[in-house]
Structure 1
Amino acid sequence: MSQVAQAGAAATASDDKITCHIDNVRVHSIQAHIEKNHKGEWTVARYQAEFPGEPLFSQIALDLMARKKAEAAASAAVAEQTGSAPQANMASAVAAPAANKITISTAFFHELFELGNAQAAMSSKGQPIPVKVLNGHDQLSADYLPEVDKSYVFNIDLLKKVIIGLELNMPTYLWGFHGTGKTTILQQAAAKTRRPFIRVQHTINMQESDVLGQWTVKSKPVEVEEVGPDGTIVKVQKQSSVTEYQLGPLPLAMINGWVYCADEYDFAMPSVTAVYQPVLEGQALLIKDAPPHFRKIVPHPNFRFVATGNTNGVGDETGLYQGTLVQNAANYSRFAITEEVEYMAASIETAILQSKTGIDAASAGKIVKMANEVRKMFRDGKITMTVSPRELIRCASLGIAYGGNWTLGMELAFANRLSRVDKKVVQEYMQRVFGAAA
């Protein structure tokens, strides 16, 4: 044995390292040491030739490499058997909610919704109607609380039906022409009663996974042990791909006790809306592709299901709503409350225009009168398009911007989207209604 080798053998081995016979330094990895300190002069091949039989790695380094190799092999085996990442990497998309801290208070219907002492806001016996208000939401749920629109004018009769659905946990379906306020009244009812509200748009391209959830691959920082450049074992942060199950909006709402609004329900394929059937019956949701801890979702006591559409499931009778589909009657039969939402009374719609745009009462009344005539012509088959409250709000805003030119406001907001024949009919009536104000 050479003097260098003898010197290395005499060195203490209490540090569990090996001796590099180039410079008698104690290291865990000869390769890493050569790369850092002797690059260009020495290679691993030269070291093995000059010091045959001498180890290249300490036992600690060998154990670490063996452990990492075994872990990689185990991960590959599990992935091959399950077609997904191992259970150890199944980080949940949303943790189970903490202990329920929701507190429920009671408010009177007419006071909560600021309806005054209107008889319609009382019970059939003339008594105040108690309504539950939820408080104490965690941050996740608080993020889904809709904002209260202080200028919103409620249709009292329709609001009562919505509140009954929320109070008695009855799935509610509102349908009707566009712009009648179907989604808005659900949203504002949730806002006033402090119920988190999640709105999910439905389309013909929607899939079950858009509702239930799906497996996703994410990159996450993980801490691993490696042999450092100086041969020491160090912990480093590296990005690692992990497969997680990302919960969809429906199970999220069910777990956390939110109001789930299935918007444009009649645009979805019946095969998609079928996933709602057990939920509409108040039963647990089973997600067959989810990991075990998410496979069965039991609805939270505060969970509610509401939906909106332009039809009542039997197809579009007007020709206005391309893309709506004839739906499964058995699915629709599971809604405890179904209500057609019609356009508001002229007095209410006039008040809304005033509150939203600041228009004067006389001009707002003219715009609403014009709108109701358009709606009548549509029902009588004289024109092929009706007008919604949101278009009237735009009409009023544009008319104000043009110095009270309500005809131009109506054209920009609505009439310019009509066929030439329909537009001429509407323009003639606008001249009669708006007259010199145009």
Structure 2
Amino acid sequence: MTIASTTERNKGLSIAKTFGLEGVPETILTTGFADEHSHTPMKDDGYVFRRETLRDLLAYLDKPRGDGLFFAGHYGTGKTSLPLQVANRLNWPVLSADGSEEFNVEDLIGRPDLQNGNVVFQYGALALAMKYGFIFIFNEIDSVPPGRLTAVHDVLEGRPLVIQSNGGEVIKPHPNFRFVATGNSLGAGDTTGLYQGVGVLNIAFMDRFRVVEVDYPEEATEMSILEKRAPEIPESVRQKMVRVANEVRRLFIGDSGVDSTLSITMSTRALCRWAELTVDYRNAGNPLEYALRLSLTSKAEPEQKEAVEELARSIFGDAWGVSL
């Protein structure tokens, strides 16, 4: 497989136009690439950028200053979708990896592989991103046992990657290489009890990152997203859908010192799915209820399924059983 390296970032892009932001002077620019790359992420036309997290990500991409960038937040807050959608608008190619307790460093760096009787080294996502100038996204990095992340330390320090299993090959970081990590914690382990497998990351390891905390989108943002995804749904109904989503999240996280009462939550992705399926099933007896089950509650235990559906009924009131 032939992979093209990124070129010099010399394309001045208006932040306002590129990311659909109102009130931002068009003279404020960021840099990207003129041509789409084969590894540029797919575009989500309904994505709405949040100014604060967008600002932090663009500042990092422009001047990483030897850091990595760590997005921390609950499941479904959009930690991964943000860098993917920014990369799409900037034509910046991306490779990624997902962390787990079974994760092996070879998944990042690569390993020898036998092909047609010959031993060929298959590079991992991190090695390729360093070599060709991609953004590397390491999802759920806090699910990886800390001892297996030692190979990443030198990379985050800006040092070359040395691949001993490929004859000691040295890969120097391309000037356009960026390292973005996501996690459900701030590196100190899961203090909420919501995420199994989340461990404590070494303090020296976390010191190599800028850390950005990501919360669920504000109501106005999600209303804007739903308007793009399901304009057929009346605004009053979309408002109630967002209220349901926020109440489910509150019960998932636990509020005011009360323990979580739900083991599921509603991400923005699930909220959009609920809206879109409500339109698709608008001729059903109760499209809101049926679409909610397909989108979320069928994944829950019976008691929690009933609790979420009762919550939705109480918020919608008489509008719950009304077809669009």
Q: TM-score range with shorter-chain normalisation?
A: 0.7 to 0.9
Q: Given the superposition, is the C-alpha separation of residues 244 and 422 from structure 1 closer, same or farther in structure 2, using an over 3 Å criterion?
A: closer
Percent pairwise identity: 31
Q: Which amino acid aligns with 1:268?
A: V
Map 1:166-315 to 2 at 5 A: 166-169=61-64, 170-219=67-116, 241-292=117-168, 295-315=169-189
1:370–1:433 contact (8 Å) kept in structure 2: yes
- d(CA) in 2 for partners of 1:285, 1:129: 35
Query: Which secondary structure state, in structure 1, belongs to the residue aligned with residue 248 of structure 2?
Result: helix
- d(CA) in 2 for partners of 1:102, 1:334: 25
Q: Given the superposition, is the C-alpha separation of residues 424 and 217 from structure 1 closer, same or farther in structure 2, using an over 3 Å criterion?
A: closer
2:35–2:91 contact (8 Å) kept in structure 1: no
1:406 to 269, 279, 288: 288
- d(CA) in 1 for partners of 2:170, 2:260: 53
2:20 to 99, 114, 131: 114
Give structure 2 stretches of 5+ with no counterpart: none
Map 1:360-371 to 2 at 5 A: 360-371=234-245
Residue number in structure 2 paired with 1:60? none
Give structure 1 stretches of 5+ with no counterpart: 1-92, 220-240
1:405–1:437 contact (8 Å) kept in structure 2: no
- d(CA) in 1 for partners of 2:306, 2:120: 58
Say if 2:38 is the partner of 1:143: yes
Q: Given the superposition, is the C-alpha separation of residues 296 and 417 from structure 1 closer, same or farther in structure 2, using an over 3 Å criterion?
A: same
Residue number in structure 2 paired with 1:352? 225
Q: Given the superposition, is the C-alpha separation of residues 423 and 136 from structure 1 closer, same or farther in structure 2, using an over 3 Å criterion?
A: closer
Q: How far has the Cα of 1:257 moved from its partner?
A: 0.5
Q: Given the superposition, is the C-alpha separation of residues 373 and 349 from structure 1 closer, same or farther in structure 2, using an over 3 Å criterion?
A: same
Q: Given the superposition, is the C-alpha separation of residues 424 and 334 from structure 1 closer, same or farther in structure 2, using an over 3 Å criterion?
A: same
Q: How far has the Cα of 1:115 moved from its partner?
A: 1.0
After superposition, the C-alpha distances for 1:379-432 in whole angstroms (9 at most, x for unaligned) are 223622332112212222332333263233223322343444444443332222
1:145–1:196 contact (8 Å) kept in structure 2: yes
- d(CA) in 2 for partners of 1:341, 1:299: 28
- d(CA) in 2 for partners of 1:203, 1:276: 15
- d(CA) in 2 for partners of 1:180, 1:406: 23
- d(CA) in 2 for partners of 1:407, 1:101: 50
Residue number in structure 2 paired with 1:131? 30
By relative contact order (CA 8 Å, sep 6+), the higher-ranking structure is 2
Q: Which amino acid aligns with 2:224?
A: A
Moved more, 302-311 or 412-421: 412-421
2:77–2:267 contact (8 Å) kept in structure 1: yes
After superposition, the C-alpha distances for 1:286-321 in whole angstroms (9 at most, x for unaligned) are 2222224xx211111111110111112222223332
Say if 2:306 is the partner of 1:427: no
1:406–1:437 contact (8 Å) kept in structure 2: no
Map 1:21-32 to 2 at 5 A: none
Q: Which amino acid aligns with 1:343?
A: Y
After superposition, the C-alpha distances for 1:224-244 in whole angstroms (9 at most, x for unaligned) are xxxxxxxxxxxxxxxxx2222
What is the CA RMSD across the aligned residues, in angstroms?
Answer: 2.3
| Residues paired across the two proteins, number | 309
Residue number in structure 2 paired with 1:388? 267
- d(CA) in 1 for partners of 2:272, 2:214: 19
1:103–1:136 contact (8 Å) kept in structure 2: no
Map 1:32-111 to 2 at 5 A: 101-102=7-8, 104-111=10-17
After superposition, the C-alpha distances for 1:240-290 in whole angstroms (9 at most, x for unaligned) are x22222221111111110101111211222122221111111121122222
Q: Which amino acid aligns with 1:158?
A: T
Q: Given the superposition, is the C-alpha separation of residues 128 and 437 from structure 1 closer, same or farther in structure 2, using an over 3 Å criterion?
A: same
After superposition, the C-alpha distances for 1:34-60 in whole angstroms (9 at most, x for unaligned) are xxxxxxxxxxxxxxxxxxxxxxxxxxx
Q: Provide runs of 4+ in structure 1 moved above 6 Å.
A: none
Query: Which secondary structure state, in structure 2, belongs to the residue aligned with residue 377 of structure 1?
Result: helix
Query: Which secondary structure state, in structure 2, belongs to the residue aligned with residue 174 of structure 1?
Result: strand
Q: Which amino acid aligns with 1:133?
A: G
Query: Which secondary structure state, in structure 2, belongs to the residue aligned with residue 245 of structure 1?
Result: strand
- d(CA) in 2 for partners of 1:311, 1:256: 30
Query: Which secondary structure state, in structure 1, belongs to the residue aligned with residue 165 of structure 2?
Result: coil
Q: How far has the Cα of 1:195 moved from its partner?
A: 0.8
Q: How far has the Cα of 1:196 moved from its partner?
A: 0.6
Q: Given the superposition, is the C-alpha separation of residues 274 and 436 from structure 1 closer, same or farther in structure 2, using an over 3 Å criterion?
A: same
Q: Which amino acid aligns with 1:353?
A: L
**Greater Rg, structure 1 or structure 2?**
1
Map 1:315-354 to 2 at 5 A: 315-335=189-209, 337-354=210-227
After superposition, the C-alpha distances for 1:143-202 in whole angstroms (9 at most, x for unaligned) are 101123222101111100011110112411101111111111100111111111112112
